[in-house]
Amino acid sequence: MSRTRSAEGMDMAHADERAHELADLAQRTGITVAVAESLTSGRLAATLGAAPDSAAWFRGGVVAYSAEVKRTVLGVPDVPVVSRTAAEAMAEGVRSLLKSVAAVAVTGVGGPDPQDGEPAGSVWFAVATDHDVHAWHRQFDGEPDDVLEQTIASAVEWLLATARDLRANQSP
Protein backbone atom coordinates (compact mmCIF):
# COMPACT_ATOMS: atom_id res chain seq x y z
CA MET A 1 0.00 0.00 0.00
CA SER A 2 1.50 3.35 -0.98
CA ARG A 3 1.31 6.60 0.92
CA THR A 4 -0.92 8.20 -1.70
CA ARG A 5 -3.30 5.36 -2.48
CA SER A 6 -5.39 3.73 0.20
CA ALA A 7 -7.01 0.34 0.39
CA GLU A 8 -10.34 2.18 0.24
CA GLY A 9 -9.42 3.48 -3.22
CA MET A 10 -9.28 7.10 -2.12
CA ASP A 11 -6.06 9.04 -2.40
CA MET A 12 -5.03 12.63 -1.79
CA ALA A 13 -5.61 13.47 -5.46
CA HIS A 14 -9.20 12.29 -4.93
CA ALA A 15 -9.50 14.51 -1.84
CA ASP A 16 -8.10 17.49 -3.76
CA GLU A 17 -10.52 16.87 -6.64
CA ARG A 18 -13.48 16.68 -4.24
CA ALA A 19 -12.28 19.84 -2.46
CA HIS A 20 -12.34 21.63 -5.83
CA GLU A 21 -15.90 20.41 -6.41
CA LEU A 22 -16.85 21.60 -2.93
CA ALA A 23 -15.28 25.00 -3.66
CA ASP A 24 -17.32 25.38 -6.84
CA LEU A 25 -20.55 24.35 -5.15
CA ALA A 26 -19.94 26.54 -2.09
CA GLN A 27 -19.19 29.54 -4.29
CA ARG A 28 -22.43 29.06 -6.23
CA THR A 29 -24.65 28.48 -3.19
CA GLY A 30 -23.11 30.54 -0.39
CA ILE A 31 -22.44 27.50 1.79
CA THR A 32 -19.62 28.02 4.28
CA VAL A 33 -17.56 25.21 5.79
CA ALA A 34 -15.51 24.68 8.96
CA VAL A 35 -13.51 21.74 10.31
CA ALA A 36 -12.58 20.34 13.70
CA GLU A 37 -9.79 17.85 13.50
CA SER A 38 -7.69 15.81 15.80
CA LEU A 39 -5.71 12.98 14.26
CA THR A 40 -5.30 14.80 10.92
CA SER A 41 -3.47 17.66 12.68
CA GLY A 42 -4.52 20.41 10.27
CA ARG A 43 -4.12 18.44 7.05
CA LEU A 44 -7.87 18.49 6.41
CA ALA A 45 -7.94 22.28 6.75
CA ALA A 46 -4.89 22.53 4.47
CA THR A 47 -6.66 20.44 1.82
CA LEU A 48 -9.72 22.69 1.88
CA GLY A 49 -7.64 25.86 2.11
CA ALA A 50 -5.77 24.90 -1.06
CA ALA A 51 -9.02 24.69 -3.07
CA PRO A 52 -10.04 27.63 -5.31
CA ASP A 53 -11.40 30.78 -3.66
CA SER A 54 -11.27 29.15 -0.23
CA ALA A 55 -11.30 32.55 1.48
CA ALA A 56 -14.89 32.98 0.29
CA TRP A 57 -16.33 29.72 1.66
CA PHE A 58 -13.88 28.06 4.07
CA ARG A 59 -14.36 29.62 7.50
CA GLY A 60 -11.39 27.81 9.05
CA GLY A 61 -10.76 25.08 11.52
CA VAL A 62 -9.75 24.05 14.99
CA VAL A 63 -6.98 21.53 15.43
CA ALA A 64 -7.85 20.04 18.79
CA TYR A 65 -5.22 17.43 19.37
CA SER A 66 -5.47 17.34 23.16
CA ALA A 67 -8.53 16.18 25.08
CA GLU A 68 -8.44 19.42 27.10
CA VAL A 69 -8.74 21.54 23.95
CA LYS A 70 -11.55 19.35 22.66
CA ARG A 71 -13.40 19.92 25.93
CA THR A 72 -12.70 23.61 26.56
CA VAL A 73 -12.84 24.98 23.00
CA LEU A 74 -15.26 22.62 21.24
CA GLY A 75 -17.51 21.54 24.10
CA VAL A 76 -16.72 17.83 24.08
CA PRO A 77 -18.12 16.28 27.29
CA ASP A 78 -16.08 14.07 29.57
CA VAL A 79 -16.19 11.02 27.29
CA PRO A 80 -13.49 9.13 25.41
CA VAL A 81 -12.25 11.46 22.67
CA VAL A 82 -12.38 8.68 20.08
CA SER A 83 -16.16 8.28 20.12
CA ARG A 84 -19.40 9.24 18.40
CA THR A 85 -20.22 11.71 21.16
CA ALA A 86 -16.86 13.46 20.83
CA ALA A 87 -17.10 13.71 17.03
CA GLU A 88 -20.64 15.11 17.21
CA ALA A 89 -19.66 17.68 19.85
CA MET A 90 -16.59 18.70 17.85
CA ALA A 91 -18.65 19.25 14.67
CA GLU A 92 -21.34 21.21 16.48
CA GLY A 93 -18.77 23.18 18.46
CA VAL A 94 -16.71 24.30 15.46
CA ARG A 95 -19.81 25.10 13.40
CA SER A 96 -21.05 27.37 16.17
CA LEU A 97 -17.64 28.87 16.93
CA LEU A 98 -16.83 29.72 13.30
CA LYS A 99 -20.42 30.43 12.25
CA SER A 100 -20.40 28.09 9.26
CA VAL A 101 -23.30 26.48 7.43
CA ALA A 102 -21.66 23.04 7.63
CA ALA A 103 -18.83 21.55 9.64
CA VAL A 104 -17.03 18.25 9.70
CA ALA A 105 -15.11 16.73 12.61
CA VAL A 106 -12.65 13.85 12.67
CA THR A 107 -11.28 12.11 15.72
CA GLY A 108 -9.56 8.78 15.77
CA VAL A 109 -6.52 6.62 16.20
CA GLY A 110 -3.86 6.97 13.53
CA GLY A 111 -1.75 4.27 15.08
CA PRO A 112 0.31 2.31 15.46
CA ASP A 113 -1.03 1.87 19.03
CA PRO A 114 -4.65 1.75 20.22
CA GLN A 115 -6.26 4.65 22.15
CA ASP A 116 -9.39 4.91 24.31
CA GLY A 117 -9.97 1.19 23.77
CA GLU A 118 -10.10 1.71 20.00
CA PRO A 119 -7.69 -0.03 17.62
CA ALA A 120 -5.37 1.81 15.24
CA GLY A 121 -7.29 2.99 12.19
CA SER A 122 -10.54 3.60 14.11
CA VAL A 123 -11.99 6.98 13.10
CA TRP A 124 -15.19 8.77 14.09
CA PHE A 125 -16.58 11.44 11.77
CA ALA A 126 -19.45 13.88 12.21
CA VAL A 127 -21.01 16.50 9.97
CA ALA A 128 -23.12 19.26 11.54
CA THR A 129 -25.52 21.67 9.88
CA ASP A 130 -28.21 23.82 11.43
CA HIS A 131 -30.63 20.96 10.66
CA ASP A 132 -28.84 17.98 12.19
CA VAL A 133 -25.67 16.14 13.08
CA HIS A 134 -24.73 12.91 11.37
CA ALA A 135 -21.93 10.70 12.77
CA TRP A 136 -20.36 7.52 11.48
CA HIS A 137 -17.40 5.25 12.16
CA ARG A 138 -14.81 3.81 9.80
CA GLN A 139 -12.05 1.31 10.41
CA PHE A 140 -9.13 2.01 8.06
CA ASP A 141 -6.21 -0.28 7.32
CA GLY A 142 -2.60 0.62 6.75
CA GLU A 143 0.17 2.63 8.26
CA PRO A 144 -0.58 5.88 10.14
CA ASP A 145 -0.08 7.97 6.97
CA ASP A 146 -2.54 5.74 5.11
CA VAL A 147 -5.11 6.18 7.89
CA LEU A 148 -4.67 9.98 7.75
CA GLU A 149 -5.09 10.13 3.99
CA GLN A 150 -8.18 7.91 4.05
CA THR A 151 -9.61 10.07 6.84
CA ILE A 152 -9.05 13.30 4.90
CA ALA A 153 -10.51 11.86 1.70
CA SER A 154 -13.59 10.56 3.54
CA ALA A 155 -14.16 13.85 5.38
CA VAL A 156 -13.97 15.89 2.16
CA GLU A 157 -16.28 13.42 0.41
CA TRP A 158 -18.87 13.79 3.19
CA LEU A 159 -18.59 17.58 3.20
CA LEU A 160 -19.26 17.58 -0.53
CA ALA A 161 -22.26 15.26 -0.11
CA THR A 162 -23.58 17.49 2.67
CA ALA A 163 -23.17 20.61 0.52
CA ARG A 164 -25.05 18.86 -2.30
CA ASP A 165 -27.87 17.97 0.10
CA LEU A 166 -28.02 21.54 1.40
CA ARG A 167 -28.16 22.86 -2.17
CA ALA A 168 -30.97 20.46 -3.01
CA ASN A 169 -32.91 21.70 0.02
CA GLN A 170 -32.40 25.33 -1.10
CA SER A 171 -33.99 24.67 -4.49
CA PRO A 172 -37.61 25.87 -4.87
Give every CB contact of residue 156 below 8 A, 6+ residues apart in sequence.
15, 18, 19, 22, 44, 47, 48
The per-residue pLDDT for 105 is 98
The per-residue pLDDT for 3 is 32
The per-residue pLDDT for 133 is 98
Q: Distance (Å, rounded) from C-alpha 107 to C-alpha 39?
A: 6
Go through the domains of the chain in sequence order and give each one's CATH number: 32-166 (3.90.950.20)
The per-residue pLDDT for 12 is 83
Would the pTM of this model clear 0.75, i.e. be above it? yes
The per-residue pLDDT for 107 is 98
Q: Distance (Å, rounded) from C-alpha 95 to C-alpha 131?
A: 12
Question: Helix (H, G, I), strand (E, B), or coil: what is residue 105?
Answer: strand
Which residue ranges in the chain fall short of pLDDT 50? 1-9
The per-residue pLDDT for 172 is 53
